[in-house]
Amino acid sequence: MSNLVKSELFKLRKDRSFWTLVLIIMALAVSYPPFVYFVLGIKSTSMKEILSAIALEGVNTYIVKFVPCILAGFFISSEYSIGTMKSIAASGNSRIRIYFSKLLVFSLGAAVIALIFPLIMPSVGLLFFGFYDMPRSDYIIQTVGLTILYACAFASVMALFAILFTDSGKTIGFLIISVSLFDTIMYTFAQKFKIVDIIYNYSVSKLFLDITKFNLGNEELFKLMIIPILTFLLVGWIGSFIFQKKEIM
């Protein structure tokens, strides 16, 4: 399996769509604090407010949920259209290993994308606003860890559809529409059906909104950790099962 992971890592390193997305998000993250300082004229703010802005204003929520959809299309589905999926599938590696190596590296890419904003924006913010009201290091570690877990869980769901579709355009379009409508649809049905309400409350899509909360209790923190891990494993297993059965034309 290490061969497959090394090969996928090499491809991710050479993936232009990945680097383009990374550079765009980096540029946004770097330009946000000077925008607040110079354009909005806010000369003093706390680090907690900066972090809240990332979380509550939903900047990173959109990045984590939408940007990897594009990567899924180019990194996974395009392998079908350019024909390379055939040579990978015929390489004498089991389909399960092929799928999980692809999922692992795609998740890594999604995690990198998810961490750019929360890591770069506060760092640049320090230059403008100083260390006033800086959160404790355990909070930063916890938030970074949860962001990685949720990025991987979302990546697992995206990889499932990316492996199902054989065209990057279809994958990107389907995923963006699905992600856009998921919360609205689930919220609507949750009002009418108790079971949907329970599923939605335990979904990564809903729980992701809570990961930057301050003063999380142990029970809540455990829930926030275990759900994305289970989602990653369960959806990953379903994806590998589908890929194993799929005939590559």
Partner 1 sequence: MGDYILRTTNLSKQYKDQWALDDVNISIKKGSIYGFIGQNGAGKSTLIKLITGLAYPTRGELELFGHSSAKELVQARKRIGTIIESPALYPHMNAIENLEVHRLLKGIPGKKCVKKTLSLVGLQDAGNKKAKNFSLGMKQRLGLGIALLGDPEFLILDEPINGLDPMGVVEIRELLKRLAFEHGITILISSHILSELHLLATHYGIIHKGKLLEQLSAVELNEKCQQYIHMKVDDPNKAATILETRLKTSHYEVLPDGTIKLFGYLDNPGKVSAILFHEGLIVEQFMPMREDLEAYFTNRIGGGYHE
Among 93, 166, 178, 203, binds partner 1 (CB under 8 A): 93
Q: Which of 39, 40, 41, 90 binds partner 1 (CB under 8 A)?
A: 90
The tokens describing 143, both together, are 């938030």
SS3 state of residue 185: helix
Smaller CB separation from partner 1, 46 or 81: 81
CB atoms within 10 A of CB 58: 12
Q: Considering only residues 13-42, where is the footprint of partner 1 by CB under 8 A?
A: 14, 16
Report yes or no: 70 and 160 within 8 Å, Cβ to Cβ.
Answer: no
Of 43 and 86, CB closest to partner 1 = 86
Two tokens at 188?
């609507």
Among 6, 23, 44, 180, binds partner 1 (CB under 8 A): 6
- Binding test (CB under 8 A) with partner 1, winner from 11, 170, 206, 213: 11
Nearer to partner 1, 194 or 245 (CB): 245
Can you tell me which of 20, 31, 84, 188 binds partner 1, judged by CB under 8 A?
84
Do the Cβ atoms of 141 and 150 come closer than 8 Å? no
Contacting partner 1 within 178-237 (CB under 8 A): none
Report the Cα 174 to chain-centroid distance in Å.
16
Number of C-alpha atoms within 13 angstroms, CB side, residue 91?
A: 16
Q: Per CB under 8 A, which region of 2-10, 29-37, 48-56, 181-189 contacts partner 1?
A: 2-10
Q: Which two tokens stand for residue 160?
A: 């499932």
Residue type at position 162: A
Cα-Cα-Cα-Cα dihedral sign, residues 61, 64, 67, 70: negative
119 phi and psi, to 5 degrees? -90, -40
Among residues 82, 136, 191, 215, the one that binds partner 1 under rule CB under 8 A: 82
Residue placing its CB nearer to partner 1 in the complex, 79 or 205: 79
Decide: is 86 part of the binding site for partner 1 (CB under 8 A).
yes
In the numeric block, the tokens 């990173």 are attached to 60
Binding site for partner 1 (CB under 8 A): 2-4, 6-7, 10-11, 14, 16, 82-94, 247-249
